[in-house]
Amino acid sequence: MKLVIAIIQDEDSENLIKTLNENNFKVTKISSTGGFLKSGNVTILSGIDDEDKDKFMKILEENSKTREVKRTIQPINIPGQAMIPVPISVKVGGATIFVVEVFDFKKF
């Protein structure tokens, strides 16, 4: 058995969870926040059987799209210079996935 920890964009979570549930995968959804852009993420936890790993990963890949967004960042404050916000393009989305071997599992 494996524990999959997947961090995805909040925008992708609804369709992903719906598709996982339709394929008989149970998930726990935890709201989280990204460190760089401080934007909404979702962390999904799911216990899966070893033989279901490829199917699970395929669903994650198909439902976690990358996209480019414009964000405005505040430059470092340098004395004597105007602080003008700087727009930047950043790629967001996709998924960060951790797969952990489970040695013991209990459900009450």
CATH assignment at residue 50: 3.30.70.120
Predicted TM-score (pTM) of the model is 0.74
Number of domains in the chain: 1
Reported as a single tens digit per residue, the pLDDT across 21-66 is 999 999 999 988 766 556 678 899 999 999 999 999 999 999 987 7
In the block, tokens 């480019």 appear at 68
Percent of the chain at pLDDT > 90 equals 47
**Largest Cα–Cα separation, the chain:** 63
Residue 9 near residue 96 (C-beta atoms within 8 A) = no
pLDDT (mean) for 5-16: 89
Identify the pLDDT of residue 67: 67
Query: Is residue 107 domain-resident?
Result: no
Tokens of 27: 């998930």
Residue 100 near residue 6 (C-beta atoms within 8 A) = no
Containing structural domain, residue 54 = 2-101
